[in-house]
Amino acid sequence: MGALELYDRHTGQWRPLRRQEQVRVVTNSFLVRGGDGYAIFKCATDKGRVFETGINSAQALIDLLQQGGGRATPESAGDQGPPTIGALAYADYSTQQLIDPQGRPLGPDPEAPPRCRP
């Protein structure tokens, strides 16, 4: 892997990840145990480098919405019922570009739902 970047939510800009920089990753318990091929997460778990909050994914989403996080709040729904959650803007997704082993950029998955494509 190379050319990894982090999104700085304070500046609104992407910046390169420095070689010795440490970051915290938030994920779910399935992935942290190596699910879907995330072996690096399992390795960190096996080494005791993972902190689990014990909060399940559904509760984390409920808490986020109740605190006004994300793009949906009860106030934004008005008389239309509960808030809905839409897809992020394409530029906000963490994977900005994929490169194959030969250095060629890979495009969006043609099977992906239209809202996920640029």
Ranges of residues in the chain whose predicted pLDDT is under 70: 1-2, 68-88, 90-91, 94-96, 108-118
pLDDT tens-digit series, residues 36-57 = 888 888 998 999 988 888 888 8
Q: What is the pTM of this model?
A: 0.52
* CA dist., res. 29 & res. 56, Å (int): 9
Pairing of strands 13-16, 5-8: antiparallel
Residue 78: the pLDDT is: 56
Phi, psi for residue 30 in degrees, rounded to 5:
-65, -50
Residue 75: the pLDDT is: 57
* CA dist., res. 50 & res. 32, Å (int): 8
Element (H, E) at 30: helix 29-32
* Angle made by CA atoms 19, 20, 22, in degrees to the nearest 5: 110
| CB 98 within 8 Å of CB 106 | yes
* CA dist., res. 94 & res. 47, Å (int): 26
